[in-house]
């Protein structure tokens, strides 16, 4: 993958825009849109061929279709894009910070890991930032992409809930 594509799909903090539900060029948006297309007309088919005992299923299916459509309409252009509509991490300054340090990722910065970042991230995200930055520093952004592009974006929250 070319560096330009890496920069579009991996945020400066090493979080994967590509696997984020808000990223319009990401896996979730693209796959939701594709699946939504394949399901077109399915509700009407089930409605026509189902009896009253399947009413609950039809209601759940309709909600699923609505959510899938919503997921396929993500609006964020990514952290480095002019269409970026605001990160879900309030007060994020990392795009400006990496530019100021003339690097593309926090992990490439000679000051990484810095203390400034802990104040903007909750613990799960901070740990992802730390791990991602270290991995980019060790193996490079290309290898990091190959390792992380299929890892669920929100997996850290699930792990945190299970402990």
Predicted TM-score (pTM) of this structure = 0.82
Looking at residue 159, its pLDDT comes to 59
Provide, rounded to the nearest whole percent, the portion of the chain with pLDDT above 70: 93
Encode pLDDT of 105-132 as tens digits.
999 999 999 988 888 888 888 888 999 9
- Binned at pLDDT 50, 70 and 90, residue 86 comes out as low
Give the C-alpha distances (Å, rounded to integers) separating 17 from 3, 34, 76, 83. 15, 19, 9, 13
The CA distance from 15 to 125, in Å, is 8
Looking at residue 77, its pLDDT comes to 85
The CA distance from 64 to 39, in Å, is 11
- What is the three-class DSSP state of 152? coil
The CA distance from 23 to 17, in Å, is 6
Provide, rounded to the nearest whole percent, the portion of the chain with pLDDT above 90: 56
Looking at residue 163, its pLDDT comes to 46
Cβ-based neighbours of 90, under 8 Å, separated by 6 or more: 120
Angle at 137 between CA 133 and CA 139, to 5 degrees: 115
Between 48 and 163, the higher pLDDT residue: 48
Q: Please return the burial class of 125, using the count of CB atoms within 10 Å of its CB with bins 0-12, 13-18 and 19+.
A: middle
Looking at residue 82, its pLDDT comes to 62
């Amino acid at each position: 993958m070319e560096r330009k594509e890496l920069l579009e799909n991996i945020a400066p903090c090493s979080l994967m825009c590509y696997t984020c539900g808000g990223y319009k060029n990401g896996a979730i948006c693209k796959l939701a849109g594709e699946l939504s297309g394949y399901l077109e007309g399915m509700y009407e088919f089930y409605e026509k061929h189902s009896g009253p005992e399947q009413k609950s299923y039809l209601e759940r299916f309709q909600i699923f279709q609505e959510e899938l459509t919503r997921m396929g309409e993500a609006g964020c252009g990514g952290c480095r894009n002019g269409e970026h509509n605001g990160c879900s991490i309030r007060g994020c300054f990392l795009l400006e910070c990496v530019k100021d340090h003339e690097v593309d990722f926090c992990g490439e910065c000679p000051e990484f890991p810095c203390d400034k970042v802990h104040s903007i991230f909750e613990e799960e995200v901070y740990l992802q930032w730390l791990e991602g930055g270290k991995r980019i520093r060790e193996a490079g952004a290309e290898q990091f992409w190959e390792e992380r592009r299929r890892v669920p974006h929100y997996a850290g929250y699930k792990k945190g809930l299970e402990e």
